[in-house]
Structure 1
Amino acid sequence: MGHSIAVVVLLLVHVCQSGRITRELGEKCQTPNQEAGECRNIKNCPALLEYVKESVAPSSSFLRDSNCGFEGLDALVCCPELSSRLTPWEIGNNRNRSTSTTRRPTTDSPSRISGNQCGRSNLQIDRIVGGNSATLGAWPWVVALGYRSRSRSDIQWLCGGALVTNRHIVTAGHCVIIPSSMTLSVARLGDIN
């Protein structure tokens, strides 16, 4: 009995702290822009689903604030009833809602890594769509790691990574813990095989 009371108290504390109560599918709700809406599966809300697909910059906080529950693994969102499409300005300008802030303890943050050009593509698009082949130099931060073996003269391309500064590559741990018979010898940047 005492255990179930503790669980109920913890759930109430969580609901109070989140400031949001989970709604039922089809229930009326209010969007972050203070518009009338209905709690729907995000797959049935074209106004918000479009921003998930397009990855519009200010949409992540708007989508988070639009959440009204879950249906299995799918998010339920407060889908605006009147507008078929929200503009990026409407998404980024949802300042009418009340917010609360909590001060975080101050800590010394690590210094920024140099290399402000890493992660920038020379292409005008930001992703490959429809299976189009990448062009040479399109993804300059992508790294292929080549290993030499005592028993073979050719380079074996066994791992990949990402260039994070002009001198540093991030890769998986198993790519640097290698048998003594092999040596990591080449890092090929932005190349295509």
Structure 2
Amino acid sequence: MLLVDAINLVKEFKQQANAVRGDIGTSCILESPNYPGICKLLIQCKEIRDEVVFHQKLPQTCGFEETQPIVCCPKPRRPGYMSESKCREYATYTKEKPLCGHSIVKRVVGGIPAGKTQFPHMALLGYRILSRYSVQWLCGGSLISEQYILTSGSCMYTEHREPKLALLGVTNINDPREKQEINVASGFTHPEYKKNLPYNDIALLKLERPVEMTSYVRPACLYINSAIQDTTAVATGWGATEYLDRSNNRNLFEVKLDIIDHQTCNDLYRNSSNLDKGVINDIHVCTGGATEGKGACEGDSGGPMQIYHRKDATRCIYDVVGVISVASCAERPTVNTRVSYYIKWIEDIVWPDDSE
């Protein structure tokens, strides 16, 4: 279809267009997916022009300048916009109020069992060992959309290679009542991650199919700001619950941890072999510590470090501020990959066209 044909198509169906009247340069809102735009001539908006020319999709118009259609053209996407928009959407997915569990937590090491609907975004990652019937659950993750799980880069390079399954909707691995077990379709490790080093230690998993939204399975929000106002965060995982305890923990545990300032954390990891560049404030956030006797441990890697989402307190939803990267079992602070630094990378994969 030629551009002139596209313009004629718009003119022909002018009366059918769901138009928001306005002049060139005025603001508009694209009704799907409720995204901010600006009124431009069709010939000046490549995104909408391509939709008309290649997909015969009738655009949302602002009006006409003589014979030229003026369309609502999407503004360049601000990093964090889709995360905020989807967070509001996910907060409406449950019809019943779940157990929020954001009250004080007494003590993963030093933790307590989590409530059944307390962390509906929690995912357990499974690895095929010898056959498709043999699975080991080795890492954690956070459901952040209907079909994507956020985890660590290190969870993509275990001795059993990359994860093949995701288990959601459970706090006890052996409880089948609300579980959803879904195959992993593909994985995306951050391009600057290097195996066994806790820098850019972040990855995404795409599931073979979208999850079924329930009170037990629902995405978390992503924390998009670099500064964290809270002084504490909550870690969750199925990892070891005591130092040097390598037993197979079947229950999801939670633990409340203090957020530790960068300099203190860096000093505690000085001369660490796997943190040769030190703790980097832009990409890391530290929590807990040996003095508290609390922290993430073996098996918790990839899981969330989270704070309670305060913008919609009635909906019991969490913001993921970090991905557990270095879990030292309370010997030293837990080092987490700071999610806000990677928002654009995450959004470009999870919501590439603003319409998922």
Q: Report the TM-score range of the alignment, normalised by the length of the smaller protein.
A: 0.3 to 0.5
Structure having the higher strand fraction is 2
TM-score w.r.t. length of structure 1: 0.36
TM-score w.r.t. length of structure 2: 0.21
Structure having the higher helix fraction is 1
